[in-house]
Amino acid sequence: MKHTISVLLQNKPGVLSRVTGLFSGRGYNIESLCVNKTLDPDISCLTLVSYGADKIIEQITKQLHKLIDVIKVTDMAETEYVEREMVLIRVKAEAATRAEVLRTIDIFRGKVVDVSQKSYAVEITGDEEKIQAVIDILKPIGIQEIVKTGTIAMARAKKHL
């Protein structure tokens, strides 16, 4: 099962390597990884996606928590959350297909971030399924290059009174 795990950690040299080393050393899987500073520049937030049986995910979260530089580990599966990825796609856009590409990315609320005579580079955000849907639709037109971020995630605020 897919798990999105959010990790708050000290923003220090070598910390990322402790996290990735833990995964490779213990044979766990990293599907995607995304990390940047939080509002507090001494603390980073790392979001990673991993697949595994519940027992493995439990070990992963415990092992992450055991790292001295780790402040907090949240398995998003235990809560309601939103998650997003961003993708940049350079898609073939010649006279015959330019309008179709624009219509398509408009449907996905994407935008064009770079233009040339033969291509558009477009930016689209969304969850994993949406990004995959865009890619599937643009593929027949001709994708020349693609760059994806990892997933970032945030727990939903509590809504009940």
Partner 1 sequence: MKITGAQALMKCLKEQGVNVVFGFPGGAVIDIFDEIMRNEDLTHVLVRHEQAAVHAADAYARVVGDVGVALVTSGPGATNTVTGIASAYMDSIPMVVFTGQVPTALIGNDAFQEVDIVGITRPCTKHNYLVTDPKELVSTIREAFHIARTGRPGPVLVDLPKDVVAAMVNFTEPKPIKMRTYRPTYEPHPGQIEKTCKAILKAKKPVIYIGGGVIASNAHEEVTEFARKMSAPVTMTLMGLGGFPGTDALSMGMLGMHGTYYANMAVSECDMLIAIGARFDDRVTGRIDAFAPHAKIVHIDIDPTSISKNISVDIPIVADCKHAVAAMNSWLDRAKDFNGDEVAKIHQPWLEKIREWKSKHPLGYVEEGDIIKPQFVVQKLHELTGGDAIITTEVGQNQMWAAQFYHFNHPRAFMTSGGLGVMGYGFPAAIGAKMAAPDRTVIDIAGDGSIQMNIQELATARQYNCPVKIAILNNNYLGMVRQWQELFYDKRYSNTGLETAPDFVKLAEAYGAVGLRATKPSEVEPVIKEALATDNTVIMDFVISREEGVYPMVPAGKATTEMLLV
Are the C-beta atoms of 7 and 64 separated by less than 8 Å? yes
* Contacts of 36 by beta carbon, 8 Å cutoff, 6+ apart: 44, 45
Among residue numbers 65 through 84, which ones bind partner 1 (CB under 8 A)? 65-66, 68-71
- List 14, 27, 41, 140, residue binding partner 1 (CB under 8 A): 14
Tell whether the torsion through CA atoms of 68, 70, 71 and 74 is positive or negative. Answer: negative
Of 33 and 89, nearer to partner 1 (C-beta) is: 33
* Residue 159 contacts partner 1 per CB under 8 A: no
For the segment 46-65, give every residue that binds partner 1 (CB under 8 A).
55, 58-59, 62-63, 65
Structure tokens belonging to residue 96 = 């015959």
- Let me know: does 8 contact 71? Beta carbons within 8 Å: yes
Instruction: Check residue 18 for interaction with partner 1 (CB under 8 A).
Output: yes
Contact call for residues 51 and 119 (beta carbons, < 8 A): no
Cβ-based nearer residue to partner 1, 35 or 141: 35
**Binding positions for partner 1, rule: CB under 8 A:** 9-10, 13-14, 17-18, 21-22, 25, 55, 58-59, 62-63, 65-66, 68-71
